[in-house]
Amino acid sequence: MSDTQTPAPAKLNPATMARQQVELAAKQLDIDPGVLQKITATKRELTVHFPVRMDDGSLRMFTGYRVQHNDTRGPFKGGIRYHPDTDLDEVRALAMWMTWKAAVVHIPFGGAKGGVQCNPKEMSPHELERLTRRFTWELIPVLGPERDIPAPDVYTNPQVMAWIMDTYSIMHGHTVPGIVTGKPLELGGSLGRFEATGRGVFITASEAARHLGLNIEGARVVVQGSGNVGGVAARMFARAGAKVLAISDSRGGVHNPHGLDVERVLSCKNQYQCFISDRLEASDITNAELLELDCDILIPAAMECVITKDNAPRVRARIVVEGANGPTTPEADEMLHDAGVFMVPDILANAGGVTVSYFEWVQNLQNLLWSEDEIDSRLSGIMRKAFSEVLAISHQKKLPMRTAALMLGIDRVAKAQELRGVYP
Ligand code: NAD
C-alpha cells in the first residue's frame, strides 16, 4: 500500500476517548451486550443554528448543541459551555461522562451536556444575554425541570443560568426555578453550589492523600485553571495549609516554589483579568510547564486532553485529581498508572458539582432552603462514600481508579436499564 493510501491515524477526540474508556471498563463487567449498546448510545442530539443581534446592529449566526446521552436513572443533567472550540463530539463525550458521574455518586440523574461555539471573551454582556436567551428558546422542546436541567460549565456562570431560567419561565407563563441549577442565590440557587465542584475536588484529593499517607498540610499542589473549579479548589487547599505552587488561566500562570498567596493571586485575576507575576512574588509559567512541575497533587481543572502520551512521562505528581472533564487521554492514563501515579478520575473527582446541583433541584421542587452546613455535610458524605466504593473496586479487581469508577457508574446504569426493560 502506498503512503497516499494509508489511512491517517484517527485523531483522538473526546468522544473516541469516552468510548475507549467504556470498552475497557465493560470488559470487566457482566453486562448483556444489547444493554451495553443501549446505554452507550446517545439518546438525542440537537444541533441548532441561530441568529443573534450584535451590539453594532449586525446579525451573526451561532451554532449550539444539546446532547442528551441517557435518562435511565433520572432526568438529563449537565452543564452548558460557551467556547470557540466546542463541537458535537466534545459535547457527546461530556454528556456520556455526566451519565456515569451521576451514577458514581448515586444521584438520580441521567447525563447531558450543551455548548455554543462562541468566544464569550469577545462579546459584551448584552450580546451574551441575547445569545443565551435565543439558545434557550431553541432548546425549549427538550428542556424541563423533570426532563433536562442545564448548569454552568466553561465560561458560563450563575448570570447565564439566571437568563436561562427567566427565558424558560417566560415561555411557560410562570417561574420555574428547577429548570436550571447553579443559579444566583436570589433566584433559588443553593448555598454551596458555587463552591461544590472545587470542594468535591478537595475532598477526594484529601481522601487520596489519606490513603497514601500524605498530609494535606504542607502538601505541594499545582492547579491548572483558575475558574470555578480550579479557583475554589486552590483556595480550599491553601486554607487547609497546603502549598499551592502554581495556578493558571488560558494564557498561562504564575509559579512560586515556596507557595503562592492564593487569595492575592485570585483577587489579582479578578481585578485585572490576568495574573501579574511581579505583584504576586511569582514567576510566569506556561500551561505546559505547569503540568510538569514537581509536586504532590496535580489538579488539571481547565480543558480536556491536556495530559497526553507526549507529556505524561514528564508528569511528576504523586496524585492527579481531575477537576476538569477528560484532561487525560487513555494512553497517558495508562502511562501514569504504570508510573505509579494515583489518579482520581473526573467522574469521581468533579462530581461535587452535580451532587449539589441535585440538592439545588430538590430544594427548588420542594420550595425549601437547606443551610450551608447541611449541604456541605451531605456533599462530604456522598463524595467520601463514592471514593471508598471506587477504591474498594480498584483494590478488589486490581484495576486503576478510572476503570473502577467507570465500572461502578456503568453497572448502576445497566442495572437500571435491565429493570426498566425495553419498550414496547
Ligand atoms: P470556568 O470557565 O469557570 O474556568 C475555566 C478555566 O480554565 C479558566 O481559568 C480559563 O482561563 C481556563 N482555561 C480555558 N482554556 C484553557 C486552556 N486552553 N489551557 C489552560 N487553561 C484554560 O470553567 P469551570 O466551570 O471551572 O470548568 C473547568 C473544567 O471543570 C471543565 O472541564 C468543566 O467541564 C469541568 N467541570 C466543571 C463543573 C462546574 O460545576 N463548573 C463541574 C464538573 C466539571
The three-state (H, E, C) secondary structure of the chain, written as one string: CCHHHCCCCCCCCHHHHHHHHHHHHHCCCCCCHHHHHHHHCCCEEEEEEEEEECCCCCEEEEEEEEEEEECCCCCEEEEEEECCCCCHHHHHHHHHHHHHHHHHCCCCCCEEEEEEECCHHHCCHHHHHHHHHHHHHHHHHHCECCCEEEEECCCCCHHHHHHHHHHHHHHHCCCCHHHCCCCCHHHCCCCCHHHHHHHHHHHHHHHHHHHHCCCCCCCEEEEECCCHHHHHHHHHHHHCCCEEEEEEECCEEEECCCCCCHHHHHHHHHHHCCCCHHHHCCEEECHHHHHCCCCCEEEECCCCCCECCCCHHHCCCCEEECCCCCCECHHHHHHHHHCCCEEECHHHHCCHHHHHHHHHHHHHHHCCCCCHHHHHHHHHHHHHHHHHHHHHHHHHHCCCHHHHHHHHHHHHHHHHHHHHCCCC
Task: Let me know if residue 401 belongs to a domain.
Answer: no
CA of 277 relative to ligand 1 center, distance in Å = 21
Task: Let me know if residue 34 belongs to a domain.
Answer: no
Please provide residue 78's backbone torsions phi and psi, each rounded to the nearest 5 degrees.
170, 155
Do residues 127 and 212 share a domain? no
**Ligand 1 neighbourhood includes 115 CB (under 6 angstroms):** no
CATH of the domain at 63: 3.40.50.10860
Cell of 30: 457482566
Is the pLDDT at 141 greater than 70? The verdict is: yes
Taking CA atoms only, the protein residue closest to ligand 1 atom 22 is 250
Do residues 141 and 201 share a domain? no
Residue 374 · residue 123 · CB < 8 Å: no
Mean predicted lDDT score pLDDT of the chain: 96
Cell of 171: 415561555
CA of 351 relative to ligand 1 center, distance in Å = 14
Do residues 215 and 336 share a domain? yes
Do residues 223 and 323 share a domain? yes
For residue 46, give its domain range.
Answer: 40-176
Distance (Å, whole) CA 67 – CA 88: 8
Calculate ∠ Cα 252-255-259, nearest 5°: 145
Annotation says 113 is catalytic: yes
Taking CA atoms only, the protein residue closest to ligand 1 atom 31 is 324
Is the pLDDT at 131 greater than 50? The verdict is: yes
Enter the pTM of the model.
0.96
Distance (Å, whole) CA 269 – CA 262: 11
pLDDT in tens, 90-116: 999 999 999 999 999 999 999 999 999
Is the pLDDT at 12 greater than 90? The verdict is: no
Task: Let me know if residue 325 belongs to a domain.
Answer: yes
**Ligand 1 neighbourhood includes 181 CB (under 6 angstroms):** no
Do residues 206 and 334 share a domain? yes
The pLDDT confidence band at residue 4, using thresholds 50, 70 and 90, is very low
Cell of 54: 450584535
Cell of 330: 487513555
CA of 301 relative to ligand 1 center, distance in Å = 6
Separation in Å, CA 30 to CA 36, 240, 350, 373: 10, 42, 27, 40
| CA neighbours closer than 13 Å in the CB half-sphere of residue 416 | 22
**Ligand 1 neighbourhood includes 20 CB (under 6 angstroms):** no
Do residues 106 and 227 share a domain? no
pLDDT in tens, 341-357: 999 999 999 999 999 99
CA of 350 relative to ligand 1 center, distance in Å = 11
Residue 363 · residue 369 · CB < 8 Å: yes
pLDDT in tens, 19-59: 999 999 999 999 999 999 999 999 999 999 999 999 999 99
**Ligand 1 neighbourhood includes 150 CB (under 6 angstroms):** no
pLDDT in tens, 223-240: 999 999 999 999 999 999
What is the 3-class SS of 208-267, one letter each residue? HHHHHCCCCCCCEEEEECCCHHHHHHHHHHHHCCCEEEEEEECCEEEECCCCCCHHHHHH
Is the pLDDT at 1 greater than 50? The verdict is: no
CA of 199 relative to ligand 1 center, distance in Å = 15
**Ligand 1 neighbourhood includes 227 CB (under 6 angstroms):** yes
Do residues 162 and 242 share a domain? no
Taking CA atoms only, the protein residue closest to ligand 1 atom 20 is 250
Residue ending a domain, choose from 123, 143, 176? 176
Average pLDDT of span 312-318:
98
Do residues 74 and 206 share a domain? no
Separation in Å, CA 237 to CA 191, 217, 259, 285, 365: 20, 8, 11, 20, 34
Please tell me the predicted confidence (pLDDT) of residue 6. 40
Task: Let me know if residue 149 belongs to a domain.
Answer: yes
Please tell me the predicted confidence (pLDDT) of residue 119. 98
Per annotation, catalytic residue among 77, 113, 243, 269: 113
Taking CA atoms only, the protein residue closest to ligand 1 atom 42 is 353
Please tell me the predicted confidence (pLDDT) of residue 3. 37
Contacts 24+ apart (CB under 8 A), 130-134: 130/52, 130/53, 131/52, 131/62, 131/82, 132/160, 132/163, 132/164, 132/167, 133/163, 133/166, 133/167, 134/50, 134/51, 134/52
* Domain count of the fold of the chain: 2
Do residues 133 and 170 share a domain? yes
pLDDT in tens, 320-330: 999 999 999 99
Task: Let me know if residue 366 belongs to a domain.
Answer: no
**Ligand 1 neighbourhood includes 209 CB (under 6 angstroms):** no
CA of 103 relative to ligand 1 center, distance in Å = 22
**Ligand 1 neighbourhood includes 129 CB (under 6 angstroms):** no
Do residues 228 and 283 share a domain? yes
Calculate what percentage of the chain has a pLDDT beyond 70: 97
Residue ending a domain, choose from 318, 349, 380? 349
Do residues 159 and 109 share a domain? yes
Do residues 242 and 315 share a domain? yes
Taking CA atoms only, the protein residue closest to ligand 1 atom 34 is 325
Task: Let me know if residue 167 belongs to a domain.
Answer: yes
Is the pLDDT at 7 greater than 60? The verdict is: no
